[in-house]
Chain A
Amino acid sequence: MVSLTLPKRIADRDWIKEIEELSGENLFACYQCGKCSAGCPLAFAMDLLPHQVIRLLQLELVNEVLNSSAPWFCVGCLTCATRCPKGVDLAKVMEAIRTLLLREGKEERRPFPLPTEIMTEAPQQASVSAFRKLSL
């Protein structure tokens, strides 16, 4: 019998190219003015600021970005995209990162408990949108 083990993740995968293709955004257009981070309503909760996410990707430091909480806290309010002087839609970049991670089967897909009182009171659109963000 011949056994064959396939690698779960191909090491030399071109994450930058995949993120650019999925998002349709040019990561290298960003010149690090920081407007996105200044306006981001969730930046206070992120371990990387939005403009740092782009900078790390430009430098091909992909692991820092893939392990960051920033893409999971982005709600897509588009404040950054509205203000970016170079027209980069960072919400699309964040969604591309999330999608690639979900395709990899990262932890965020596992079921987790939700507060009952929120679920009974919150509008349906909140749970629909929250789970949409966590689905492929």
Chain B
Amino acid sequence: MRIPYYPGCTLHQKASGLDRSARVTAAALGIELVELPQWQCCGGLIPQIREAYMGLLAPARILVDAQKEGDRLLTLCTFCYNTLKRADRILRDDPESRRRIEDFLEEKYYGVRVVHLLEVLRDEVGWDSVRQQVVRPLDWKVAPYYGCLLLRPYKEIGLDDPEDPTIMEDFLRCLGCTVVNFPAKTECCGSFLSVTKPELAKECSRQIVQKAAQTGAQVIVTTCPLCQFNLDRFQGDGPTSDGRYRSVPILYFTQPLAFALGLDEGVFFPDQHRVSPQRLFSSPTKEGRA
């Protein structure tokens, strides 16, 4: 199955691990990700106020280009997924926005279904099929972390329950993982405040990692490059004063998938982690429960 693919700015550079592991795992599962012939940044966030047409232009341009390649577009980065999916919704539902954007771009927009790889694995490949292709079941204790934009707003994204999602749990169980009950799984990591107010993003991330550590999880799995960065980076700054700190490595969901499928590539990217996950990959079946 061929699906047009939009990597986005981050996946082409600082989160190349997510891009790499997604391409090889998708290929192993029979999905060919075909990168759009031309694309630019989606703008990161969709404007939330009315009549913010300028902010709608960047994602609209991507969608207009994508519709020439097929009726859907696959994304991996949570920000791109959220922005493109909501932009498509605005262009479909608001005739005034569509008219203005079409006039400016001098192209018609007919609609593109924006999908996430997790969604394709669930709805098209199927969990059973994923499970059957696992050659190296992972005896890991995992905390699934969704963050904010993968699920919200539910009315426009509709991927899974915004308060108690299970798609990542179902996915990880297919790989053989034990999934912990992780109460902070939909909390926000502080997002882009890591640029303007790093101390606030650090506090948000610290609470999430600490809750994961308390559940006994060996690793946190996420879909978002910014969540990965925030949760990982601030652990490098040393233990917390309350002494309950334990560092937990952060992986993209495609990395355990690549490992479980027995692939050599797309598993481990040493330069993209502060807290090294190497221990997990060294002896998967003997890895003890923490």
Contact = CB atoms under 8 A, between A and B. Distances in A.
B192 A126 contact: yes
Contacts of B171: none
Given A95-B49, A129-B44, A73 B8 contact: no
Contacts of A124: 9-10, 13-14, 41
Interface stretch (B23-31, B193-201, B239-247): B193-201
Nearest to B199: A45
Size category, B interface? 35 or more
A130 B154 contact: no
A79 B152 contact: yes
Interface stretch (B62-70, B183-191, B257-265): B183-191
B2 to A, nearest CB: 26
A130 B195 contact: yes
Given A122-B229, A125-B79, A114 B192 contact: no
B277 interface: no
Interface in B35-93: 41, 43-45, 47-52, 54-55, 77, 79-80
Interface centre among A22, A122, A133 (most CB of B within 10 A): A122
A41 B230 CA distance: 14
A56 interface: no
B198 A115 contact: yes
Interface in B244-287: none
Contacts of B193: 42, 73, 75, 130
B204 interface: yes
**Main SS of chain A's interface residues?**
helix
Contacts of A96: 49
Task: Assign chain A's interface to a size class.
Answer: 35 or more
A128 B148 contact: no
Interface in B120-175: 147-149, 152-154, 162-163
Interface of B: 8-10, 13-15, 41, 43-45, 47-52, 54-55, 77, 79-80, 147-149, 152-154, 162-163, 186-188, 190-198, 200, 203-204, 225-226, 229, 233
27 contacts: A23-B49, A24-B50, A41-B204, A42-B188, A42-B193, A75-B188, A75-B190, A76-B45, A76-B191, A78-B148, A78-B152, A83-B163, A89-B153, A92-B48, A119-B195, A121-B229, A122-B226, A123-B10, A124-B14, A125-B77, A126-B192, A126-B194, A128-B44, A129-B44, A129-B45, A129-B79, A132-B44
Given A45-B200, A115-B198, 12 more contacts: A75-B188, A77-B148, A77-B149, A81-B152, A81-B153, A95-B48, A122-B226, A122-B229, A123-B14, A125-B192, A128-B44, A130-B195
3 tightest A-B contacts by CB? A77-B148, A77-B188, A129-B44
